[in-house]
Amino acid sequence: MYRVGKVLNHNSVIAISSEDNQEYLMMGKGVGFGRKVSQQMEKRPGDTVYSLKDVTERGDAKSILKSVAPICLELADIVLNKAEKEFGNIDRTVLFPMADHLEYAIKRIQSHEQISNPLTDDIRVLFYKEYKVAGCLEPLIKERLDIQIDEHEVGYIALHIHSAIDTEKVSQSMQMARAVRECVTLVEEETGKKIDVSTLAYNRLMNHVRYMVARVIKGEKLKVNMNDYMEVKYPLSFETARKICDEIGQSLKCQFDEIEIGYLAMHIERSAEDEME
């Protein structure tokens, strides 16, 4: 059982639990309609409840709640509901940083300030399902606020969704996308060939770099060493891979295990072969 602490709008209230006397954000269609402060209420099927004691990358939930419009909370809740249907269990604490991002995104658009993200194409491929879920915001924001968001904003929301289904923080997801873009750029520079982000070659290389970066962040290591074979068989790809591991390692402030060079070289070689087909 809860009692109403504050009605935010028709679809969201701050509710105080009778069990622990703590404040929660309760969201659901019509949950706040006709409610009065101190009125008793129960959580209905379909309502979502968020603790206000959570601390996120963007600050604590209670502070964020005070600074964002209820519509941004609603939009974030809708996105998380769709993400839950797509991925299963998710971390709902992402609601607050996502709503905070939406608040600033909407203000930027209303002020005619355009953002550009050079990693949008990579995010779209790297986190394909998350990007697809995030895309539900475009018609919603257009319908409710008469505002058109672009693909770059969708990309940023996709990172928040990814952080809700994975242990990665948004900053880590961005770091991974940046590492993938840096790797692809270096491969293009070393080989003199452009890699199309829509090709199988890019997908293979991108997925390998994604897991390579995840391994170094988590401290995991590969077991089979292919370095001797790749260095002799494909010396150019091997040297390119070594250079990439060194440069990305500096960017991430970490050091890749030597074994990673051979595997990356294999994917660089495959990428070059695919591009020639």
**Residue 275's pLDDT is what?**
54
- In the chain, which residues fall in CATH 1.10.1790.10? 55-166, 177-276
Whole-number Å distance between alpha carbons of 152 and 129: 16
Q: Which fold has domain 1-53?
A: Transcription Regulation, Sacy; Chain A (2.30.24)
What mean pLDDT comes out for the span 251-268? 89
Contacts of 185 (CB under 8 A, 6+ apart): none
**Residue 59's pLDDT is what?**
72
Distance of CA 155 to the CA centre of its chain: 8
Q: Which fold has domain 55-166?
A: PTS-regulatory domain, PRD (1.10.1790)
What mean pLDDT comes out for the span 27-40? 93
Question: Is pLDDT at 165 greater than 70 in this prediction?
Answer: yes
Percent of the chain past pLDDT 90, that is, above it, reads 54
Closest CA to 137 of 114, 107, 105: 105
Q: How many residues does the chain have?
A: 277
Average pLDDT, the chain: 88
Widest Cα–Cα separation across the chain? 76
Q: Phi and psi dihedrals of 56, rounded to 5?
A: -120, 180
Question: Is pLDDT at 191 greater than 80 in this prediction?
Answer: no
**Residue 141's pLDDT is what?**
95
Closest CA to 212 of 162, 259, 149: 259
pLDDT grade, residue 133 (50/70/90)?
very high
Which residue shows structure tokens 């293009």? 188
What mean pLDDT comes out for the span 200-208? 81
Of residues 135 and 196, more confidently modeled: 135
Whole-number Å distance between alpha carbons of 26 and 31: 8
**Residue 259's pLDDT is what?**
92
pLDDT in tens, 84-105: 999 998 999 899 999 999 999 9
Of residues 115 and 263, more confidently modeled: 263
- In the chain, which residues fall in CATH 2.30.24.10? 1-53
Domain 177-276, CATH: 1.10.1790.10
